[in-house]
Amino acid sequence: MSNGLDFEFLIDTFFVALTGVPVAILITVVSLAIALPLGFILALTRINKMLVLNQFSRVYVSFVRGTPVIVQIFIIYNSVPLLLASIFEKYNIQMDVYDVNPIWYALIVFSLNTTATLIEVFRSAINTVSKGQLEAAHSVGLTTVQAFRRIIVPQTLVVALPNICNATVNLIKATSLGYAMSLPEITLKAQVAANASYNYIEAYLDIFIIYLIICSLVEYLFKRLEKRLRKYQIAPTA
């Protein structure tokens, strides 16, 4: 071990760590699938200053952004089982709360977290699409829903895409914190492999490379998507 890197271990562990990729991706995809529409809708409540919901979104965003993800994980991971246990007891459900797959906790934490980020992303993006276009759509006979679907949302998405990309990359990286709740993702798998032989450097190098590859790939895909969607230039608003 003191003779430099153990290449065999490096390569073996690379493949072990790779088996954690599906979990990381599953969590990323599901969290985004929840956070994208939810974030958009809550952004609208903020822009239209809808009573209660607007306040709720504001407080929610400041809570989530004002605390480290790892702390959120600890809180959810430790408090939800207690909550569940008391519910199970009350309704006489025969199930051990500690059998719950940590993926569920991860999904809760990361969906909540990404939603908060995307509320702010969409809020600023929607504001760049002028209210005048909504009025123009109304004036030519579109309903509000049609106007949003055909005019506002497509433009909002293009404007928001770079920030959605950032949020996605941050989310992928944040899934590595899942090891704190025994989530069998990339970091945990590699670490477990290293625990036996103390080849931590090799294991961390593997993790490093895997995240780098995934995140670069995601950024590349977003760039492609942005090019496809942005057929038009943003007109200077008069």
Partner 1 sequence: MLEIKNIHKSFGDNIVLNGIDLKIEKGDVVVVLGPSGSGKTTLLRCINFLEKADQGQAIFGDTQVDLKKASKKQIYSIRKRTAFVFQNYNLFNNKTALENVTEGLIIGRKMTKEEANKIGKDALDKVGLFEKYDAYPGELSGGQQQRVGIARAVSLNPDIILFDEPTSALDPELVGEVLEVMKTIAKEGTTMLVVTHEMSFAKDVANRVIFMDGGVIVEEGPPNEFFQHPKEERTQRFLKRVLPEDYIYNI
CB atoms within 10 A of CB 121: 25
Cβ closer to partner 1: 149 or 223? Answer: 149
The verdict on 236 binding partner 1 (CB under 8 A) reads: yes
Q: Give residues 194-233 in contact with partner 1 (rule: CB under 8 A).
A: 231-233
Least Å distance, CB 229 to partner 1, is: 9
In whole angstroms, give the CA distance from residue 108 to residue 29. 13
The verdict on 237 binding partner 1 (CB under 8 A) reads: yes
Cβ closer to partner 1: 9 or 148? Answer: 148
In whole angstroms, give the CA distance from residue 148 to residue 139. 14
Which pair of tokens denotes residue 122? 């969409």
User: What number of chain residues touch partner 1 (CB under 8 A)?
Assistant: 26
The verdict on 22 binding partner 1 (CB under 8 A) reads: no
Cβ closer to partner 1: 22 or 132? Answer: 132
Among 1, 136, 209, 213, binds partner 1 (CB under 8 A): 136
In whole angstroms, give the CA distance from residue 13 to residue 38. 38
Among 57, 111, 155, 187, binds partner 1 (CB under 8 A): 155
Q: Which stretch binds partner 1 (CB under 8 A): 69-77, 119-127, 150-158, 162-170?
A: 150-158
Among 146, 182, 197, 216, binds partner 1 (CB under 8 A): 146
Helix runs in 3-151, H state only: 7-18, 21-47, 53-65, 69-90, 102-128, 131-139, 144-147
Among 47, 151, 205, 218, binds partner 1 (CB under 8 A): 151
Q: Which stretch binds partner 1 (CB under 8 A): 69-77, 107-115, 132-140, 173-181?
A: 132-140
In whole angstroms, give the CA distance from residue 122 to residue 152. 11
Based on its alpha-carbon atoms, the radius of gyration of the chain, rounded to whole angstroms, reads 22
Least Å distance, CB 164 to partner 1, is: 17
The verdict on 92 binding partner 1 (CB under 8 A) reads: no
Phi and psi angles of residue 171, each rounded to the nearest 5 degrees, phi first: -65, -45
Please state the length of the chain: 238
Distances (CA, A) of 198 to 6, 13, 31, 177, 203: 11, 12, 34, 21, 9
Residues of this chain that interact with partner 1 (CB under 8 A) are: 129-130, 132-133, 135-142, 146, 150-151, 154-155, 158, 231-238
